[in-house]
Chain A
């Protein structure tokens, strides 16, 4: 079961030198990234509004499994999907 958020929720993310997320802060609560299941990159729609995002499917220290992404243009991170 996954829940795709209607509006991606902005979060704060700390990454390591290679750009991989190490910890996140969601709704004020900090959590460690315990595992990364997948990473992928999407880049599209350049003719309208350029969309380039680096996605990560992570498991946090609180047990949350979710998809987060970094918007390459603004360099801000968002939570887009929660997995049960």
Chain B
């Protein structure tokens, strides 16, 4: 090979240390003409899969290694030569993390000695033990240590590592290292301890170091690198640097040549399922399927049988019977233990999955396509994802761990990356930007991603004229750090199960939960490498449904069987059609509410479409709008060719589903289902012009064989191509539609229980608890405030009304609540003092309980109670607060505004008032309308309205348009803001919770929107009105009833 190869290289997966992504490093290596490159991140292989893939694509040999942290804190560079070395590396890293504790690794000598086979060891950087000893002039110790390493790794596998970064003592250290190496007959090799691909990235690297150490650039002096030499250097640069030691350069290729590793693990399939006597995986699976079919299909028709046999055939030929059995077993356990769970995604295309009880969607009834889920053209395994009630998920995960063993199961990691908010915060702090500026920028930014921050900041009035160097650095660095890994967390669902010990394939780290381990790879890496996982995802809606059904049983003595409810109830669809969907699964978003009155779903199939179509993207223009126009009868239903009619009839001639794409390719161009799916997937990725042309040719010629002319075939191909990457998976939509209907049904028929469950499973959904409470009130579900003698930790239903629970009160956790309830068993609380003495909670807890109205039942005002609390807390134990001692204090009653503010402070919401309700009087002039008053006006009317901002969205595909949802005491109002208007009022909209908007009413297809022209904060408007009009008595400013409403 020849040439210099970098063997010590950190990527961004050396968290908060490496300043270039694996991809950038590979790219740079390519430009330098490097034929091989190593990745050696700190104590991990987090970026190994990405690196491996990028290197392979660039035709650079990937070398996998890591920089290990030893028990004594020193560094050591390890490189895997082969599969054995790789496994040992994984084990070493894993062991290091177990010994080291959270977020640190500490490999001890004994472990290193046991797992050295197949590894090449380089002595490390200045922080390496040998280098460090030589720097301290302890040559004898260094020599002894080097001899120890020699023994462990062998002469061919241990090298002294030389680095030179133009530090004052680098020359001397290199000289000493080489002298020692020559004396002991050890090879010496050069490396550059790379931390970034190109020198200019040193700034980002400095920032990362500051973030890691929670300090600023000014204060971090010694923690940062002394110069900018830690970039990927060329052969020429390194040769010059080590001109005295040419062997060191040559050895880099010698080592590179010896490494040969591929990261393919397809043979490490899933574990073997333990089968009953005499059965094979497929025979047992078949048995279970037919048993299940009798449950699901009454009767079991020929169509069912033939579909089953077809699928079982494919499953058998692809050797996946074992996988299905594993998932079947998990779902069986869930069912037997009352754990709500259902399969999601493309698995619902399969009748095998349906009869095994993995999914709840009948693929025959919904006209689904098995090949979307599984076909013989696919590589790897299909992913079966299961949604589990969040509250029950832990139990199911434990089951999998127990069943397959600690060695063979692990959770999948999730890489938390830098996005707009955290980038602005962390980079700002490192640069020493004043905190208030950081705050304002953070709150003003709309995008999730930081990659376009410069453009966004340029639009903000406050920041557009900032030109200073620090500001430029700030914005620039935020953009650079976008998408960088920040830290690792556990992926919400993925569980990896393997037949061989996982620690041979990927390093595992202990998670916070005891006995739990996490892989260092994320789900994309796992998939890339061919491993099997089952996604066990928590879905709060399932917890909500479970809770609601329990509440219904308690309140009405009815045990709802959601599998048996009628799926065509008109009351439910009426509610959906008028977009009365706060809290309803999948259809409550602002965008959905805008679509429902147009699409008017009246049956489950309509719901399947509904769930699918509200997605951002070009799909909207090409597919969704035509569908909606046709649904509304504004456009004729047509088909490009009669052949397409049976496939597209259900969606009025428009392609909406991925399954339809496959069917179209099969019927139009004569593709096999596997080929058709391959086409669909290929179109979804970025393809070159030539590749698309090639696909088009194949399609058109196939169509010709079917008797379809070229023009039509071209048009059909265009239709598929433009859609392919954005289409929806129908089975996924079908699974969700079912849950959507169930949640809507509960909302329609058991609203108190529904809202109660919704409040108890926050955070979830699109809206905050206060919006939910107001929606409940609008549906005649009364909300009762906290009551110290009646409330529980969670909200409960009392005679058809919801009693707020302790969970919302700040400072009152589950522990305190339990204590309160326990005490309550011994008798009701008779006074604040009684409560305090019996439960002794924190001051914050009691204060907030008072402010939330928990003690209103005792007939004293909140002010009085807080006053008394002060006295009570000053008491000595045993002392009684005698009535005589209490000074008579006259305290003014709280106004309505103050009551509301008090409740908000204590629990983030008010059971009594909406903020707009109490402030209404202050802006009652000049025709400021309530939300309920808007619907009846004519389109085109100019109006003013005000409300609380409950949603603000700026979809990337909406060309700068911003969508707002305002709420007042009567309902929700939709506001549309053009980019120019938004630019002008961005600050107000972003930072003020209550705003007033002036604009024109736009009514279309039963949906009302206010097209905004002007904004002001509610405060401003109230001030303006006060100064313009002499003030009438303000009821909101008068004393509210401080006692609880019955």
Residue positions of A touching B, CB distance < 8 A: 18, 38-44, 46-47, 52, 54-55, 57
Contacts and interface: CB of A to CB of B under 8 A. Distances in A.
Interface in B439-493: 469-470, 473
Contacts of B227: 41-44, 52
B858 interface: no
Nearest to B228: A43
Nearest to A55: B168
B166 A41 contact: yes
Given A41-B227, A42-B226, A47 B470 contact: yes
B217 A40 contact: no
28 contacts: A18-B240, A38-B171, A38-B172, A39-B166, A39-B171, A40-B166, A40-B168, A40-B170, A41-B166, A41-B227, A41-B229, A42-B226, A42-B227, A43-B202, A43-B226, A43-B227, A43-B228, A44-B226, A44-B227, A46-B202, A46-B203, A47-B203, A47-B217, A47-B431, A47-B470, A47-B473, A52-B227, A52-B228
A80 to B, nearest CB: 13
Contacts of A47: 203, 217, 431, 469-470, 473
Interface string B204-244: 00100000000001000000101111000000000010000
Contacts of A54: 166
A41 B217 CA distance: 19
A46 B217 CA distance: 10
A38 B168 contact: yes
B336 to A, nearest CB: 62
Contacts of B168: 38, 40, 55, 57
Nearest to B431: A47
B167 interface: yes
A39 to B, nearest CB: 7
Q: Output the residue of B168, B169, B229, B470 with the most chain A CB within 10 A.
A: B168
A55 B166 CA distance: 9
A40 B473 CA distance: 27
Q: Which 3 A-B pairs have the closest CB atoms?
A: A41-B166, A43-B227, A40-B168
- By DSSP majority rule, is chain A's interface helix, strand, loop, or mixed? strand
A29 B203 CA distance: 40
B471 to A, nearest CB: 11
Nearest to B203: A46
B580 to A, nearest CB: 54
Interface in B165-215: 165-172, 202-203, 206
Contacts of A39: 166, 171
B244 to A, nearest CB: 13
Interface of B: 165-172, 202-203, 206, 217, 224, 226-229, 240, 431, 469-470, 473
Contacts of B228: 43, 52
A16 to B, nearest CB: 13
B154 to A, nearest CB: 36
B148 to A, nearest CB: 31
A47 to B, nearest CB: 5
A52 B227 CA distance: 8
A49 to B, nearest CB: 9
A70 to B, nearest CB: 12
Given A38-B171, A40-B166, 11 more contacts: A38-B168, A40-B170, A41-B227, A43-B202, A43-B226, A43-B227, A46-B206, A47-B203, A47-B217, A47-B473, A52-B227
A57 B166 CA distance: 13
A5 B217 CA distance: 26
Given A47-B470, A47-B473, A40 B167 contact: yes
B712 to A, nearest CB: 62
Contacts of B167: 40
B481 to A, nearest CB: 15
A43 B202 CA distance: 10
A27 to B, nearest CB: 26
B404 to A, nearest CB: 52
Q: Output the residue of A42, A44, A47, A55 with the most chain B CB within 10 A.
A: A47
A46 B472 CA distance: 12
B220 to A, nearest CB: 11
A18 B169 CA distance: 20
A41 B229 CA distance: 9
Contacts of B166: 39-41, 54
Nearest to A40: B168
A40 B172 CA distance: 12
Nearest to A43: B227
Nearest to A67: B168
Q: Output the residue of A39, A43, A52, A57 with the most chain B CB within 10 A.
A: A43
A21 B240 CA distance: 17
A40 B171 CA distance: 9
A46 B224 CA distance: 12
B417 to A, nearest CB: 24
A43 B473 CA distance: 17
B718 to A, nearest CB: 51
Contacts of A43: 202, 226-228
A44 B217 CA distance: 10
A63 to B, nearest CB: 22
Nearest to B473: A47
A11 B172 CA distance: 28
Nearest to B206: A46
Contacts of B431: 47
B476 to A, nearest CB: 11
A52 B166 CA distance: 12
A56 to B, nearest CB: 11
B269 to A, nearest CB: 51
Contacts of A52: 227-228
A38 B217 CA distance: 28
A33 to B, nearest CB: 16
Contacts of B171: 38-39
A61 B338 CA distance: 91
A54 B470 CA distance: 26
A45 to B, nearest CB: 8
Contacts of A41: 165-166, 227, 229
B437 to A, nearest CB: 16
Contacts of A55: 168
B174 to A, nearest CB: 12
A39 B170 CA distance: 9
Contacts of A40: 166-168, 170
Nearest to B229: A41
A40 B166 CA distance: 4
Contacts of A44: 224, 226-227
A69 to B, nearest CB: 12
B734 to A, nearest CB: 55
Contacts of B203: 46-47
A19 B202 CA distance: 23
Contacts of B217: 47
Contacts of B172: 38
Nearest to A57: B168
A46 B204 CA distance: 11
Contacts of A42: 226-227
B356 to A, nearest CB: 60
Nearest to B207: A47
B165 to A, nearest CB: 8
Contacts of B170: 40
Contacts of B473: 47
A54 B168 CA distance: 11
A40 B217 CA distance: 22
Nearest to A41: B166
A43 B231 CA distance: 14
A42 B227 CA distance: 5
A46 B470 CA distance: 10
Nearest to B170: A40
A43 B166 CA distance: 11
Nearest to A39: B166
A43 B203 CA distance: 11
A2 to B, nearest CB: 13
Contacts of B469: 47
Nearest to A46: B203
A57 B168 CA distance: 9
